[in-house]
Chain A
Amino acid sequence: MKSRDSRVLERHFQIWREKGLLTPEAEGAFRTASEEAAVPKRAPVALVALGVLGGGLLLTGLILIIAENWQAIPRGVRLAGWALIQAGFLAAAAYLGPDSRNRSFLSEIFAFLSCGWMLGGIALVSQIYQLNSRPVNGIWLWLALVLPAAWLLPRRAVPTSVFFILLTGFVMEAADTSSLLHAESAENPWLWLGLPMLAGALVSFLPRPALFLRGVVGAWFFGMATASLLFFGVTHHFIRMQLGGAWVLAIAGFLAGLLIPQRTLPPAWDALTSRIVVAVPVIPWLLVGSNYSPEDPIDLVAVGLAWAVQFAVAILIIRAGARAEAPVWVNLGYLAILAGILTRYFDFFGEYLRGGVALVVTGIVLLGLLFAVEKARRGTLSRGIASA
């Protein structure tokens, strides 16, 4: 399977050959020299997944050892043990540097472990001294202790951990009834969409942000926006739209997506696409407000708009993915279109699907739909920009 760089190189080689600028010998030399760059630097997904699993089990096991022998281990020994293990994780993360391709992912795992073990230390002190405080205070302390690592320990695991800590902190603040940022209700899309964007935007300002997080935030946003629009289009309401104090977090997240999309959202989405994808899905909810009324024409427009917006956003994502030669966005976009068509089909005709004939018709429609969508998807992937 050719990488994106290889496809770009192929196009340029073709142009240079046609113009007589490239001899076969030179082309061969260029290809040989580029082979090293073509080797993917990232560890395979399975290796990373197993590494995270192994690291998680190691952390959990260490915590359980302390818990199971709580009374047998003196206070000072527990704390000293935590410090020694933390020093060990940091040393391993530093020693197994990114220079060695075979061990770089191990370095990332140990950096991840050191970040996680920091939370273990906070929990340890809290439990030894029976400290009662808002749980989210522990998360912010965790952030304060991990944040310096973003400058001092150059590993992608650190900004990834910071992203996770920020997201956890925001969610817990929204859930805490004593917090100024408490959300009266989470039964609406604002927080689900805004908080990851806010966390992603903040992490992007770190010296070595993990760029893959932008793809994660983008995928989450697209998925949640699609699901919310489909749900809204079927049920015609969200149960409670009141955000309370959490509106600050939600608005900050949306502003980050609109004002600095190049920091928040995937690089495959150009700035205009990013802004449209962030802004357009919320229009139906804004029109409806907190209550849906079938007699209100604006609310009816909002429901119809939700159907249209869901398709429009999916097409935008497909177009952006095709332009950037990023198959994942093309695939996700077509998946969203398929989900939208199926939802509309069952929404309109669901009541009439009784009996064998109706099921046969539905099956034929479904198969035809799958064939058409798959054909379009393959066409988009093969044609690239021309298809978009």
Chain B
Amino acid sequence: MKKVIALGIFQIVVLLGWAGQNEWIRQTAPTFRIPLRPRDPFDLVRGRYFILNPEEQEITTTGSSLLDDKGVARFLDLADPKGQPSSYSGSALVGFCPAGPIFRVCALRPLGSALSPQDPVKYWCRGVLSVYRENEHYRVSTDLRLDKFFLPNQIQLPGRENAAGWELEVSYRPGQFLLPRRLWFKDQPVPVE
């Protein structure tokens, strides 16, 4: 019986410890909001969930994004100082700057690179990037590991998923992937719990 008690303690402590670590992040980590273009499917196994689809998963430096050609070129130089790369694929740091109530991608930086004291970027998180030149500008695909957001079956969403105004509040851990925290719709939090 002692062995089984030890087994139970191990399993419960590990799982609750994992939950406790995430609860600590939820309670203490700074948060900010990013815009979404979500989809709301239903999966028989996983249940109901949002496919988050952050708005800046695909960025073209010609558009209204805060990330411009100079910023991307600076990143490519830092990523490969000896060559003259016009593309990049792999993990990197993605910088977010405030744009009103939400934050948008405004800079890129290679992992492990030194931070400038005058850096205007407030939050640097990890992402998987694919950068390539398209005509005269750059196209950047950012995978922030923000895939799905679990929804209880009974929840009534305040708006259709294809409506404008959906945002995701994320918990920030320096240099790590963002953690989804809360859904927002038109500046109002969506009560999921």
Which residue in B1, B15, B26 is a CB contact (below 8 Å) of A145? Answer: B15
Contact-residue size bin, chain B (C-beta under 8 Å from the other chain): 20 to 34
Kindly supply a per-residue 1/0 record for chain B positions 1-17, scoring 1 wherever the CB is within 8 Å of any chain A CB and 0 otherwise.
10110111011101110
Query: Cβ of B149: which chain A residues have Cβ within 8 Å of it?
Result: 130
Tell me, in angstroms, the Cα distance from A68 to B10 when the chains sit together.
Answer: 29
Number of A-B contacts (CB under 8 A): 87
Query: Cβ of B22: which chain A residues have Cβ within 8 Å of it?
Result: 125, 128-129, 131
User: Chain A: residues with CB nearer than 8 A to chain B?
Assistant: 67-68, 70-71, 74-75, 79, 82-83, 86-87, 90-91, 93-94, 118, 121-122, 125-133, 145, 148-149, 151-153
Tell me, in angstroms, the Cα distance from A104 to B155 when the chains sit together.
Answer: 43
Residue B152 CB within 8 A of the other chain? yes
CB-CB under 8 A for A132 and B12, given A75-B193, A93-B4? no
Query: Cβ of A83: which chain B residues have Cβ within 8 Å of it?
Result: 12, 15-16
Residue B37 CB within 8 A of the other chain? no
CB-CB under 8 A for A71 and B193, given A132-B147, A153-B3, A153-B7? yes
Which residue in B1, B8, B16, B180 is a CB contact (below 8 Å) of A130? Answer: B180
Query: Cβ of A130: which chain B residues have Cβ within 8 Å of it?
Result: 148-150, 179-181
Residue of B nearest to A79 (CB): B19
Query: Cβ of B10: which chain A residues have Cβ within 8 Å of it?
Result: 145, 148
* Interchain CB contact under 8 A, A87 and B12: yes
Query: Cβ of A148: which chain B residues have Cβ within 8 Å of it?
Result: 7, 10-11
Residue of A nearest to B155 (CB): A71
Query: Cβ of A125: which chain B residues have Cβ within 8 Å of it?
Result: 15, 18-19, 22
Chain B, range 118-155, C-beta contacts under 8 Å to A: 145-150, 152-155
CB-CB under 8 A for A68 and B153, given A79-B16, A87-B8, A128-B19? yes
Residue B23 CB within 8 A of the other chain? yes
CB-CB under 8 A for A129 and B26, given A67-B153, A87-B12? yes
Tell me, in angstroms, the Cα distance from A123 to B25 when the chains sit together.
Answer: 18
Shortest Cβ distance from residue A148 to the other chain B in the assembled complex, whole angstroms:
6
Tell me, in angstroms, the Cα distance from A87 to B6 when the chains sit together.
Answer: 11
Tell me, in angstroms, the Cα distance from A130 to B153 when the chains sit together.
Answer: 15
Tell me, in angstroms, the Cα distance from A170 to B178 when the chains sit together.
Answer: 28
* Interchain CB contact under 8 A, A129 and B19: yes
* Interchain CB contact under 8 A, B152 and A70: yes
Tell me, in angstroms, the Cα distance from A149 to B5 when the chains sit together.
Answer: 11
Shortest Cβ distance from residue B24 to the other chain A in the assembled complex, whole angstroms:
11
Residue of A nearest to B11 (CB): A145
Tell me, in angstroms, the Cα distance from A47 to B149 when the chains sit together.
Answer: 41
Chain B, range 63-112, C-beta contacts under 8 Å to A: none
Residue B174 CB within 8 A of the other chain? no
